[in-house]
Amino acid sequence: MAERKYRELIEQLKTAGLRPTRQRLALGRLLYGENGDMERHVTAEQLHAEAMSAGVRVSLATVYNTLHQFTEAKLLREVVVEPGRSYFDTNVDDHHHFYFEQSGRLQDIPSEELELKSMPEPPAGGRIRRVDVILRVDEEG
Amino acid sequence: MAERKYRELIEQLKTAGLRPTRQRLALGRLLYGENGDMERHVTAEQLHAEAMSAGVRVSLATVYNTLHQFTEAKLLREVVVEPGRSYFDTNVDDHHHFYFEQSGRLQDIPSEELELKSMPEPPAGGRIRRVDVILRVDEEG
DNA sequence: ACTGGAATTAGAGAAATTCTAGGCCATTGA
DNA sequence: TCAATGGCCTAGAATTTCTCTAATTCCAGT
């Protein structure tokens, strides 16, 4: 990961009131590092496995905590596609998703490629916090 | 439930290759019956509890099986809103949802009130099987 | 370096869903 | 109508995903 992004991560953690601990930095590096801007959609289990095989000793509980804290801090976005299967997306810009049911893979759709014609009024006293669009795709063959 | 709907349900089950058993009919009645056309969003647990208190003896496993079979037969539609929380929707027409995070409630949005400006091309070899739009609403106050 | 509060850990616990093996029941064909 | 057949249902165990707890470890400010 670029040095710039690394400092940025530390800054973002501090802003969010999160101490830049060994584990958070390591997980952040795994999430955003190396293949810098690649879109990533990981489950907690996957990230934990990745950490293990990268020699980073971190517990699964911490992975869950960290992913949720990152999500809270808007460094990640959680996408639920099936009961018992949620992904954390490194892309926090406005965008949507293709979901391939057979393989369980997720793919970003830039917001320019899928826009809503009109946004319905939220019921009284509510405000729309987020719009999630999932296009479920069958892979024939 | 209206007699008409009841016969209709038996017909739909047969068409789907499902035997109209005591349990399926009872659950179908709970789902579509009485308050006929009301939109319903139930979890397996909820429906099971409903069945119990209606004096219908049915196991939770059967409720899960039945809900999935009904979904397969397009009598229901499954909506996943959070890890570990999925609803079955009695409305199988094209439509979308408001999700109220605080209360966990789901509300239909008719398809006329929320349309997509354009549909992105699915990746090669895939076809879009379903479009799910969830507007997550914060209830302030 | 020392200390207090936050973070991390392993493991237990919870919650939702699925599986299994055996018994039951709806359908079909005689 | 009746028995056979194959699908269906059940309880409970198992699995999976995620969360909690209590003890330990670590970071930040002095």
The residues spanned by each domain of chain A are 3-87, 93-137
The correct answer on CATH 1.10.10.10 for the domain covering A3-87 is yes
User: pTM of this prediction?
Assistant: 0.91
Question: Protein A57 CA to nucleic acid D22 C1', in Å?
Answer: 21
Q: In what order do the strands lie in the sheet with A77-82?
A: A41-42, A85-89, A77-82
Residue A93 sits at the chain B interface (C-beta within 8 Å)? no
Q: Which two tokens stand for residue A137?
A: 């795709």
Residue B84's pLDDT band (boundaries 50, 70, 90)? confident
Distance CA B27, CA B25 (A): 5
Contact criterion met (CB < 8 Å) for B98 and A123: yes
DSSP three-state, residue A18? coil
**pLDDT tens-digit readout, A92-129:** 999 999 999 888 999 999 999 999 998 999 988 899 99
A-B Cβ pairs (cutoff 8 Å, strict): 121
Residue A66 carries which DSSP code?
Answer: H
Bridge partners, residue A131, by sequence: B135
End-to-end CA distance of chain B: 38
Q: How would you write chain B as a 3-class SS string?
A: CCHHHHHHHHHHHHHCCCCCCHHHHHHHHHHHCCCCCCCCEECHHHHHHHHHHCCCCCCHHHHHHHHHHHHHCCCCEEEEEECCEEEEECCCCCEEEEEECCCCEEEEEEHHHCCECCCCCCCCCEEEEEEEEEEEEEECC
User: CA-CA distance, A68 to A46, in Å (whole number)?
Assistant: 15
**In this predicted model, what pLDDT tens digit does every residue of A17-47 receive, in sequence order?**
999 999 999 999 999 976 666 789 999 999 9
DSSP state of A122: P
pLDDT above 70: residue B3: no
As a whole number, mean pLDDT of residues A69-98 equals 94
**What single-letter amino acid sits at B29?**
R
* Structure confidence by residue, pLDDT tens digits, B90-134: 999 999 999 998 899 999 999 999 999 989 999 888 999 999 999
Nucleotide nearest to A85 (CA to C1'): D17
Given B128, B133, B134, which is nearest A137 (Cβ)?
A: B128
| A57: pLDDT strictly greater than 60 | yes
